[in-house]
């Protein structure tokens, strides 16, 4: 049932860091979130347990979603919506079958709106991701360590990875 998997990502890496703890993954997410702008789409790609929800939680705080809102996994709810400096749509496509399911959900309103869209399991809908999508690959190294990688792909990747260095 899962779509194409890209554990290592593709193309040249603009940024490659090793996170040694979920807290560090969260902080990297927060820094990314601080630099995101309206209309940005972030694709999180990695296996179960590599920290997708964790980095998404950081991104949410970086966007300014107040601490009283708990950022939980949207696996069952599919989309969670939060309000910070910008509106954040947190997608989790774990249960999704493919692109046709997305079309029925009216995904264009989210992807091409004024908010920020963060998508877990984005590889399942790769063909409909907007051109400027920022790809973040998370890979399991060991118990605590994860590789976080931004490939040279999409218009936002260069600008954002420079800001993160």
Partner 1 sequence: MLVLGIETSCDETAAAVLRDGRLIPASNVVASQADLHSEYGGVVPEIASRKHMETIIPVICRALRGAGVSLRDIEGIAVTRGPGLVGSLLVGLSVAKAIAFALDIPFVGVNHLEGHVASVFLGDSSPDFPFVALVVSGGHTNIYLANGFQDFRVLGQTKDDAAGEAFDKAAKLLNIGYPGGVVIDRLARGGKKDWIQFPRAMKESMDFSFSGLKTSLLKCIKKRGYPFHERDLPDVAASYQEAIVDVLVEKTLRAAQMFSIKKVVVCGGVAANGRLRERFREEADSRGIDVYIPPALFCTDNAAMVAVVGEDILKRGFRDTFDINAVSRWPLDTLRGYS
Q: Which residues bind partner 1 (CB under 8 A)?
A: 1, 22, 48-49, 53-54, 57, 70, 72-73, 75-81, 94-97, 100-101, 104-105, 140, 142-143
**Nearer to partner 1 among residue 33 and residue 154 (C-beta):** 33
CB of residue 32 vs partner 1: minimum separation in angstroms? 19
**Nearer to partner 1 among residue 15 and residue 78 (C-beta):** 78
DSSP state of 114: S
**Nearer to partner 1 among residue 37 and residue 109 (C-beta):** 109
- Exposure string over 92-110, b if 16+ CB within 10 A, otherwise e: bbbebeeeeebeeeebeeb
CB of residue 24 vs partner 1: minimum separation in angstroms? 15
**Nearer to partner 1 among residue 11 and residue 49 (C-beta):** 49
**The sheet that has 41-45: what strands, in order across it?**
13-19, 146-151, 134-140, 41-45, 116-120, 87-92, 79-83
CB of residue 165 vs partner 1: minimum separation in angstroms? 28
CB of residue 87 vs partner 1: minimum separation in angstroms? 13
- Exposure string over 112-145, b if 16+ CB within 10 A, otherwise e: eeebbbbbbbbbbbeeebbeebbbbbbbeeeeee
CA distance 63 to 50: 22
**Nearer to partner 1 among residue 104 and residue 131 (C-beta):** 104
CB of residue 65 vs partner 1: minimum separation in angstroms? 13
């Amino acid at each position: 049932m899962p779509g194409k998997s890209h554990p290592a990502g593709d193309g040249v890496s603009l940024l490659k860091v090793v996170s040694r703890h979920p807290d560090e993954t969260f902080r990297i997410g927060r820094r990314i979130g601080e630099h995101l702008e309206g209309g940005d789409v972030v694709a999180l790609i990695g296996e179960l347990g590599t920290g997708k929800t964790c980095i998404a939680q950081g991104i949410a705080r970086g966007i300014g979603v107040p601490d009283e809102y708990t950022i939980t996994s949207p696996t069952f709810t599919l989309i969670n919506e939060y309000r910070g400096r910008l509106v954040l749509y947190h997608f989790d496509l774990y249960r999704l079958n493919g692109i046709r399911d997305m079309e029925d959900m009216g995904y264009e309103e989210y992807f091409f709106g004024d908010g920020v869209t963060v998508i877990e399991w984005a590889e399942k809908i790769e063909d409909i991701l907007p051109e400027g999508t920022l790809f973040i690959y998370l890979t399991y190294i060991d118990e605590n360590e994860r590789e976080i990688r931004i490939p040279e792909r999409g218009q936002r990747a260069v600008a954002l990875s420079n800001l993160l260095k």
